[in-house]
Structure 1
Amino acid sequence: MTEAPARPDALLPSVTPVRFLAEDGSPADYQAGYAEPPVALLREAYRRMIIGRRFDTQATALTKQGRLAVYPSSRGQEACQIGAVLALRDTDWVFPTYRESMALVARGLDPVEVLTLLRGDWHCGYDPKAARTAPQCTPLATQTLHATGLAFAEKRQGRDTVVLAFIGDGATSEGDFHEALNFAAVFNAPVIFLVQSNGYAISVPLSKQSAAPALSYKGIGYGVRSEQVDGNDPVAMLAVLQAAVEHARSGNGPFLIEAHTYRMEAHTNADDATRYREDEEVQRWLGRDPMARLEKHLRDLGALSEEDIAAWTAEAEAKAADLRTRMNAEPVVAPMELFAHVFAEPTSQLREQQEMLAAELDAEER
């Protein structure tokens, strides 16, 4: 006997993004029936956001110093990044994009290992299986298929694992995203698609990417429960993410979340954002800082002290100093590894290049 399809109105996202906190950090009035997370969890979110933002600043500086080949900053998206990992168990899986370095550090991965791929190495730096974290993905939306497949496999094994796939707004225009939604819905896979709608796919604004009233509506046609949320409201992000995780873990299938947020920095260090967005727009979003909103909320609750902030800031500085020291050490490299993972059977041109490099290295040793 097949399951009855969900009623369309049960799949629909809220008409306006779910919000617990206004832009100034005061209480908002559109919570859409979601429960506010415990204060202890909000305190931990704020602590990790302090550490995450300092990590992001340090990684950006390392790029300018030539220690990283490229770095996509996630400053401004802290609520999305930290909220996602806090809503998951350690046994759940994460499928990140190239912009989720902050999330992976918040998940407990070694920051140096997280940045290894961005340093220019041929592998992702960490053990995906041990970390239950897939390699950071550069091609848009391809990891959504992998996430869906793994979620389905875990379900077939009788485990209650939840899989979360990060994507950006531009990835929702890719065919892989739509195939993943369809498969996940048909096979009831416990996977969450978190769309960080940060305004631009590199330089292309959202208005040039989609005519949908909101990206969250893209789940409806596939039978996927969907929601939209203020991505710069940490309380709302945690509330919606926790509900989505419970939805998936309870056997109710996939969940699509659109988080309305903004990347404060350029797409990467190789991008000049001033060519396609105005400073006035950036300044507007600076006034919606997720960390400032959560700080005010916690202070109003009497759940945050100056001592807390000082201690967590010192912790963040210590971690940044450790990262800086370790990243400034010259890596030990094996030049011949350049040819190890190009083709299963090396081409004649590759063999020629390999022989040339081997000869150069041999000459240097003499």
Structure 2
Amino acid sequence: MLSELAPNHYFSGISLTRDLADDLHTFHSTESTEKVWEQTVETIARIPEIISTWILEYIPESQNFRLLAFHGSSNFEIPNIVSKYSLPCHHVVDSNMIFEMNLSGDGNILQFFGRYFSDISSAMYLGYPIRSDLGTVIGVIGMVVEDKFKHKFKNLKLIDVIADKLSQNLIRHKNENLISQTLNTASFVKHSLAELFRLLSTKSNDLTTIFRSYLQTGTRLFGLPLGIITSKIGENWEYSFVEGNVHGIFEGQKFSNEESKFTTQDFSGSAKILNEISDSSVQSVRDHLLEVGVSCLMEFPFTVHNQIIGVLGFYGLKDQKIESIELTQKVFELMGIGLANTIEKHNIDLLSKIVFLEKEDPTL
């Protein structure tokens, strides 16, 4: 295999031999995806003058890179997920071309690389695109090399072949992930609809039982450990029903209208979802939720005559995030609407009984 060849066989500037061409033809043919990435960076790192090398998958939806493999100095680290413009690899994506630069020439790059290389003035960055069948950049081979990179153009011919092989591997990886996500989405939708139908088909007139059922179903369905139904009591609020054993949150817990952070502007007729509570969103989260380490939340208001009378909420803890936000929001809103309709119907039925009793009893 290519990775088993001595470096001088193909990194000395001599033309590629027939044996090397045969190795390149069989490269990646039988290995797992992760193994291919690891072997690739190990192979590239054997080129003299290369200090570190890595493979990144480009994720255009989030404008991020995902680290697939890394090889090089133990002092040099790249996070598993890194924003597009944190690395010079973004130049490769934006230009769809090979890109090189001296690492001492960019202040932003120095902030990232300067932590790892004591003499950054003698190093340069070299990036090579991994393209899809349509020619768009789906990944980047990144390298930190010595500024005097011998036989650069001949070695880039080798990297070009490797990038072509990586392209096939990365396309297959993306397709497999897409299929997996599609199947997971279909499974979630099917399961969600079945659960919603079960909740809406409940014959019970006991609101306590109904509330418990909704909270238990929601925590399982959304994978969030804390479910709460909050009720408006006069001018203040209380947690009427709590699903999940979280120290500091309990049924009957009361807080003022000011502390509630519930406003019609926040909801605007739909669910409020915060997938990551940051400094900018802290102002809209209750202090006692922040104290117990809530990391994400979804809340849906029960509104009667333009007044919020209650809120259905589910909450994640520590570093937990909400999966598939758009789909989750739709399912959550259907659940909230179903519970709101049940509450409204229950109140109408109760009012009808009172009116009926008034007619029957002339003393009332």
Where relative contact order (Cα < 8 A, 6+ residues apart) is larger, the structure is 1
Which TM-score applies when normalising by structure 2? Answer: 0.25
- Which protein has the larger Cα radius of gyration, Structure 1 or Structure 2? 2
Which TM-score applies when normalising by structure 1? Answer: 0.25
Higher strand share: 2
